[in-house]
Amino acid sequence: MRMVETYVEHLVAELTDADRTEDGAFILPTRARPVLDVVPGPAGTTLRVRVRAAVVHDAEATAEVLAALNDANGWLPYGRLYLDGGTVVVEETIAGAWIDFDPLRNAVYFVDWAACWFGQELAAAAGGRPAVVPEEDTTGQHGAATGDVAPDGHADPHAPPGRDPGNTQVALAIDDGPTAAGGAPDPAGPERAAAANVAGYL
Protein backbone atom coordinates (compact mmCIF):
# COMPACT_ATOMS: atom_id res chain seq x y z
CA MET A 1 0.00 0.00 0.00
CA ARG A 2 2.96 2.29 0.53
CA MET A 3 3.49 2.20 -3.24
CA VAL A 4 0.10 3.82 -3.80
CA GLU A 5 0.73 6.44 -1.10
CA THR A 6 4.07 7.32 -2.69
CA TYR A 7 2.41 7.56 -6.09
CA VAL A 8 -0.12 10.05 -4.70
CA GLU A 9 2.54 12.13 -2.98
CA HIS A 10 4.64 12.20 -6.15
CA LEU A 11 1.64 13.20 -8.27
CA VAL A 12 0.63 16.06 -6.00
CA ALA A 13 4.22 17.23 -5.61
CA GLU A 14 4.56 17.57 -9.39
CA LEU A 15 1.68 20.02 -9.65
CA THR A 16 2.32 23.77 -9.60
CA ASP A 17 0.21 26.90 -9.84
CA ALA A 18 0.73 26.75 -13.60
CA ASP A 19 -1.37 23.57 -13.62
CA ARG A 20 -4.35 25.26 -11.99
CA THR A 21 -7.51 26.42 -13.73
CA GLU A 22 -9.08 29.81 -13.06
CA ASP A 23 -11.20 28.35 -10.24
CA GLY A 24 -8.20 26.74 -8.53
CA ALA A 25 -8.55 23.13 -9.68
CA PHE A 26 -5.55 21.31 -11.11
CA ILE A 27 -5.45 20.18 -14.72
CA LEU A 28 -3.63 16.88 -15.00
CA PRO A 29 -2.20 15.93 -18.39
CA THR A 30 -3.10 12.56 -19.90
CA ARG A 31 0.09 10.95 -18.60
CA ALA A 32 -0.99 11.65 -14.99
CA ARG A 33 -3.96 10.04 -13.29
CA PRO A 34 -6.57 11.63 -11.00
CA VAL A 35 -5.71 9.82 -7.78
CA LEU A 36 -6.76 11.97 -4.85
CA ASP A 37 -6.30 10.16 -1.57
CA VAL A 38 -5.60 6.90 0.23
CA VAL A 39 -7.38 6.51 3.57
CA PRO A 40 -7.66 3.68 6.12
CA GLY A 41 -10.94 1.77 5.91
CA PRO A 42 -12.71 -0.92 7.91
CA ALA A 43 -11.39 -3.67 5.65
CA GLY A 44 -7.80 -2.40 5.74
CA THR A 45 -7.13 0.32 3.21
CA THR A 46 -9.59 2.28 1.11
CA LEU A 47 -8.58 3.95 -2.13
CA ARG A 48 -10.77 6.93 -2.91
CA VAL A 49 -10.57 8.57 -6.33
CA ARG A 50 -12.39 11.82 -6.95
CA VAL A 51 -12.54 14.08 -10.00
CA ARG A 52 -14.67 17.06 -10.95
CA ALA A 53 -17.20 16.15 -13.62
CA ALA A 54 -18.70 19.57 -14.22
CA VAL A 55 -18.87 23.11 -12.90
CA VAL A 56 -22.54 24.09 -12.68
CA HIS A 57 -24.51 27.17 -11.73
CA ASP A 58 -27.93 25.68 -10.94
CA ALA A 59 -27.88 23.24 -8.04
CA GLU A 60 -31.56 22.34 -8.36
CA ALA A 61 -31.23 21.52 -12.05
CA THR A 62 -28.08 19.54 -11.32
CA ALA A 63 -29.84 17.39 -8.73
CA GLU A 64 -32.57 16.68 -11.27
CA VAL A 65 -30.02 15.69 -13.88
CA LEU A 66 -28.24 13.37 -11.44
CA ALA A 67 -31.54 11.66 -10.65
CA ALA A 68 -32.36 11.33 -14.35
CA LEU A 69 -28.94 9.86 -15.13
CA ASN A 70 -29.39 7.32 -12.36
CA ASP A 71 -32.76 6.26 -13.71
CA ALA A 72 -31.50 6.03 -17.28
CA ASN A 73 -27.98 4.67 -16.93
CA GLY A 74 -27.43 3.34 -13.43
CA TRP A 75 -24.17 4.04 -11.63
CA LEU A 76 -21.08 2.41 -10.23
CA PRO A 77 -21.50 -0.28 -7.57
CA TYR A 78 -19.01 1.50 -5.31
CA GLY A 79 -19.25 5.02 -6.70
CA ARG A 80 -21.39 8.11 -6.56
CA LEU A 81 -21.97 11.57 -7.94
CA TYR A 82 -22.45 14.43 -5.51
CA LEU A 83 -22.58 18.19 -5.52
CA ASP A 84 -19.77 20.07 -3.76
CA GLY A 85 -20.50 23.77 -3.97
CA GLY A 86 -20.78 24.46 -7.68
CA THR A 87 -18.92 21.32 -8.68
CA VAL A 88 -20.29 17.88 -9.48
CA VAL A 89 -17.83 15.30 -8.19
CA VAL A 90 -17.42 11.71 -9.33
CA GLU A 91 -16.08 9.40 -6.63
CA GLU A 92 -15.11 5.74 -6.74
CA THR A 93 -14.09 3.76 -3.64
CA ILE A 94 -12.28 0.43 -3.62
CA ALA A 95 -11.56 -1.36 -0.34
CA GLY A 96 -10.23 -4.62 1.00
CA ALA A 97 -9.06 -7.29 -1.42
CA TRP A 98 -9.62 -5.09 -4.48
CA ILE A 99 -6.71 -2.91 -3.40
CA ASP A 100 -4.33 -5.68 -4.47
CA PHE A 101 -5.92 -5.96 -7.91
CA ASP A 102 -4.47 -2.98 -9.74
CA PRO A 103 -6.65 -0.42 -7.93
CA LEU A 104 -5.33 2.57 -9.85
CA ARG A 105 -6.31 1.20 -13.26
CA ASN A 106 -9.72 -0.03 -12.16
CA ALA A 107 -10.77 3.03 -10.17
CA VAL A 108 -9.38 5.52 -12.65
CA TYR A 109 -10.96 3.68 -15.56
CA PHE A 110 -14.44 4.01 -14.07
CA VAL A 111 -14.05 7.54 -12.78
CA ASP A 112 -12.41 8.86 -15.95
CA TRP A 113 -15.19 7.41 -18.06
CA ALA A 114 -17.93 8.76 -15.82
CA ALA A 115 -16.43 12.22 -15.53
CA CYS A 116 -15.97 12.51 -19.26
CA TRP A 117 -19.39 11.15 -20.19
CA PHE A 118 -21.60 12.62 -17.46
CA GLY A 119 -19.71 15.89 -17.21
CA GLN A 120 -20.84 16.89 -20.69
CA GLU A 121 -24.50 16.16 -19.97
CA LEU A 122 -24.49 17.73 -16.52
CA ALA A 123 -22.88 20.94 -17.70
CA ALA A 124 -25.19 21.27 -20.67
CA ALA A 125 -28.33 20.62 -18.63
CA ALA A 126 -27.41 22.75 -15.61
CA GLY A 127 -26.08 25.82 -17.38
CA GLY A 128 -22.41 25.23 -16.58
CA ARG A 129 -19.35 23.90 -18.34
CA PRO A 130 -17.70 20.47 -18.40
CA ALA A 131 -14.55 20.07 -16.34
CA VAL A 132 -13.40 17.22 -18.55
CA VAL A 133 -12.55 18.12 -22.13
CA PRO A 134 -12.40 15.09 -24.43
CA GLU A 135 -10.01 15.00 -27.34
CA GLU A 136 -10.62 13.26 -30.63
CA ASP A 137 -10.09 9.50 -30.53
CA THR A 138 -10.02 7.85 -33.94
CA THR A 139 -9.28 4.39 -32.60
CA GLY A 140 -12.40 3.84 -30.51
CA GLN A 141 -10.25 2.32 -27.77
CA HIS A 142 -10.23 3.58 -24.22
CA GLY A 143 -7.04 5.53 -23.68
CA ALA A 144 -5.49 4.27 -26.88
CA ALA A 145 -3.13 7.22 -27.12
CA THR A 146 -1.62 6.45 -23.72
CA GLY A 147 -1.79 2.66 -23.87
CA ASP A 148 -4.66 2.39 -21.40
CA VAL A 149 -7.45 -0.08 -22.04
CA ALA A 150 -10.38 -1.43 -20.08
CA PRO A 151 -9.49 -3.34 -16.87
CA ASP A 152 -9.80 -6.67 -18.69
CA GLY A 153 -7.20 -5.57 -21.24
CA HIS A 154 -9.63 -5.11 -24.12
CA ALA A 155 -10.80 -2.02 -25.95
CA ASP A 156 -13.38 -0.03 -24.01
CA PRO A 157 -16.78 -0.55 -25.69
CA HIS A 158 -18.25 2.45 -23.86
CA ALA A 159 -15.91 5.08 -25.30
CA PRO A 160 -17.10 6.37 -28.68
CA PRO A 161 -14.76 8.61 -30.72
CA GLY A 162 -14.29 12.03 -29.18
CA ARG A 163 -15.40 10.89 -25.73
CA ASP A 164 -12.42 8.78 -24.76
CA PRO A 165 -11.28 9.52 -21.19
CA GLY A 166 -7.85 8.09 -21.90
CA ASN A 167 -7.24 10.97 -24.27
CA THR A 168 -8.66 13.54 -21.89
CA GLN A 169 -7.31 16.21 -19.59
CA VAL A 170 -8.97 15.67 -16.22
CA ALA A 171 -9.70 18.56 -13.87
CA LEU A 172 -8.93 17.37 -10.35
CA ALA A 173 -10.22 19.14 -7.26
CA ILE A 174 -7.38 18.79 -4.75
CA ASP A 175 -8.63 18.21 -1.21
CA ASP A 176 -6.70 20.50 1.13
CA GLY A 177 -8.17 18.74 4.16
CA PRO A 178 -6.78 15.85 6.20
CA THR A 179 -7.53 13.24 3.51
CA ALA A 180 -5.14 14.81 0.98
CA ALA A 181 -2.21 12.64 -0.15
CA GLY A 182 -2.98 9.71 2.12
CA GLY A 183 -3.65 11.55 5.39
CA ALA A 184 -6.22 10.64 8.02
CA PRO A 185 -9.82 10.61 6.76
CA ASP A 186 -12.01 13.65 7.23
CA PRO A 187 -14.85 12.64 9.60
CA ALA A 188 -17.34 14.81 7.75
CA GLY A 189 -16.09 13.63 4.38
CA PRO A 190 -17.86 14.49 1.16
CA GLU A 191 -21.21 13.90 2.87
CA ARG A 192 -21.18 17.48 4.10
CA ALA A 193 -21.64 18.70 0.56
CA ALA A 194 -23.53 15.80 -0.98
CA ALA A 195 -26.68 16.79 -2.81
CA ALA A 196 -27.18 13.50 -4.62
CA ASN A 197 -25.99 9.91 -4.23
CA VAL A 198 -26.78 7.38 -6.87
CA ALA A 199 -26.26 3.63 -6.86
CA GLY A 200 -26.57 0.83 -9.37
CA TYR A 201 -24.31 -0.51 -12.06
CA LEU A 202 -22.70 1.15 -15.07
Residue 15 located in a structural domain: yes
Residue 187 located in a structural domain: no
Predicted pLDDT at 70: 52
pTM above 0.75?
no
**Stretch 69-89: mean pLDDT, rounded?**
53
Residue 93, classed as helix, strand or coil, is strand
Torsion, Cα of 107, 108, 112, 113 (10° steps): -50
Q: Is pLDDT at 90 greater than 60 in this prediction?
A: no
Residue 95 located in a structural domain: yes
User: Minimal CA–CA distance to 79: which of 35, 48, 116, 43?
Assistant: 48
Residue 122 located in a structural domain: yes
Instruction: Render pLDDT for 44-77 as a digit per residue (tens, 0 to 9).
Output: 444 454 544 445 555 565 566 555 555 544 444 4
Number of domains in the chain: 1
Predicted pLDDT at 87: 56
Q: How confident is the model at residue 88 (pLDDT cuts 50, 70, 90)?
A: low
Predicted pLDDT at 22: 52
Predicted pLDDT at 151: 37
For residue 70, give its domain range: 2-181
Compute the C-alpha angle 195/95/5, nearest 5°: 95
